[in-house]
């Protein structure tokens, strides 16, 4: 992961958010969960800053989209209370693993500030921008 790739991801996420009429926070982390780039779109709320970071961190640390962890993190699920580990994680949509064209994990993107469904759609579009 480098800044040029992170900026591509952010640009794709911003574009998708604008199409939906949303102002969101977007975090891009490397595969180890360290910050590479962040943006908060004009008009976005403050609270989703931390949420976007935790969504991306969840995806990066577990190399799994945050939405995919959601079912297993519910009460009686295999990883219930996972959100309480690693300094706080999030197990609902909007954190997506980033892969290069060879399929290797390079990092993750986290999007927050729209609906959970829209956050997920925006993050998926941002991740897909690396494969086109």
| CATH superfamily of this structure's domain 3-128 | Haem-degrading domain (3.30.450.150)
pLDDT tens per residue across span 31-51: 999 999 999 999 999 999 999
Q: Taking CA 51 as the corner, what is the angle to CA 111 and CA 45, rounded to the nearest 5 degrees?
A: 80
How confident is the model at residue 74, as a pLDDT? 81
How confident is the model at residue 110, as a pLDDT? 98
Closest CA to 112 of 36, 30, 13, 15: 13
How confident is the model at residue 28, as a pLDDT? 98
Where are the domains positioned within the chain? 3-128
Query: Quick one: 94 exposed, middle or buried, by C-beta within 10 A (0-12, 13-18, 19+)?
Result: buried
**Contact criterion met (CB below 8 Å) for 54 and 89:** yes
The first and second tokens of residue 76, run together, are 């009686």
Closest CA to 107 of 69, 57, 66: 57
pLDDT averaged over every residue in the chain: 94
Rg (CA), the chain: 13
Say if residue 94's pLDDT is above 90: yes
How confident is the model at residue 77, as a pLDDT? 79
Burial string for 21-55 (b: 16+ CB within 10 Å, else e) reads ebbbbbbbbbbebeebbbbbbeebeeebbebbbbb
Say if residue 4's pLDDT is above 80: yes
């Amino acid at each position: 992961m480098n800044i040029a790739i992170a900026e591509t991801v952010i640009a794709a996420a911003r574009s998708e958010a604008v199409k939906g009429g949303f102002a969101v926070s977007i975090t891009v982390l490397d595969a180890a969960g360290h910050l590479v780039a962040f943006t908060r779109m004009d008009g976005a709320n403050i609270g989703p800053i931390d949420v976007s970071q935790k969504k991306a961190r969840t995806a990066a640390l577990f190399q799994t989209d945050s939405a995919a962890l959601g079912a297993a993190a519910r009460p009686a699920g295999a990883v219930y209370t996972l959100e309480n580990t690693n300094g706080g994680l999030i197990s609902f949509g909007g954190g997506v693993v980033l892969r290069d064209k060879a399929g290797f994990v390079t990092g993750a993107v986290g999007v927050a500030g729209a609906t959970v469904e829209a956050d997920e759609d925006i993050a998926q579009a941002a991740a897909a921008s690396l494969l086109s």
